[in-house]
């Protein structure tokens, strides 16, 4: 390793002072004379639609039994009448599907490993033949140049 005589340390951008700098900018609070507080601005008597923005990595998510209410007791009753009755059956079906998919992936992996092993065996057999001299590759006696 040779030391660099021109090295002056890590590079840093030059900075100059700004005499007009007043600190981090913060927006000023300006009163709005037209503003009126309205606690019912979010209320909709005839709401018909609900939108979801979903970002998911794993496919296969299912949404059902969506309820929009502000009545906690009604929501609990609705959950008992719908979700609670089907959740165990849905879980069993999901587990069966996951098990079947795992079995298929395992079989595919096994087939791939078997194919790779067969390829390796073929390569080894080819290597064995390469080690043996082919009589056609050996020049006849006296045909080589002598020094």
Q: What is the pLDDT of residue 32?
A: 92
Backbone phi, psi, residue 37, to 5°: -70, 135
For the stretch 112-142, pLDDT in tens is 888 888 877 776 666 665 555 566 666 666 6
Could you tell me if 66 and 48 are in contact, meaning their C-beta atoms sit under 8 angstroms apart? no
Q: Can you give the C-alpha Rg of the chain in angstroms?
A: 39
What is the C-alpha to C-alpha distance for residues 123 and 59, in angstroms, rounded to an integer?
Answer: 40
Q: What is the pLDDT of residue 96?
A: 92
Could you tell me if 83 and 65 are in contact, meaning their C-beta atoms sit under 8 angstroms apart? yes
Tell whether 24 is covered by a domain: no
What are the start-end ranges of the H helices in 57-131?
A: 72-81, 83-131
Q: Residue 123: which domain range?
A: 89-127
Tell whether 79 is covered by a domain: no
Tell whether 102 is covered by a domain: yes
Residue 100, pLDDT above cutoff 90: yes
């Amino acid at each position: 390793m040779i030391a660099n005589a021109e090295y002056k340390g890590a590079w840093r951008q030059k900075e100059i002072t700004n005499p007009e700098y007043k600190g981090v900018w913060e927006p000023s609070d300006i009163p709005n004379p037209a503003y009126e507080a309205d606690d019912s601005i979010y209320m909709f008597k005839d709401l018909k639609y609900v939108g979801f923005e979903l970002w998911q990595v794993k496919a296969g998510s299912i949404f059902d039994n969506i309820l929009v209410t502000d009545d906690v007791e009604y929501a609990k009753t609705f959950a008992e009448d719908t979700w609670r009755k089907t959740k165990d059956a849905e879980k069993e079906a999901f587990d069966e599907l996951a098990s079947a998919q795992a079995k298929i992936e395992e079989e595919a992996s096994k087939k791939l490993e078997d194919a790779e092993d067969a390829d390796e065996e073929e390569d080894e057999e080819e290597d064995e033949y390469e080690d043996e001299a082919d009589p056609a590759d050996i020049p006849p006696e006296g045909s080589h140049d002598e020094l």
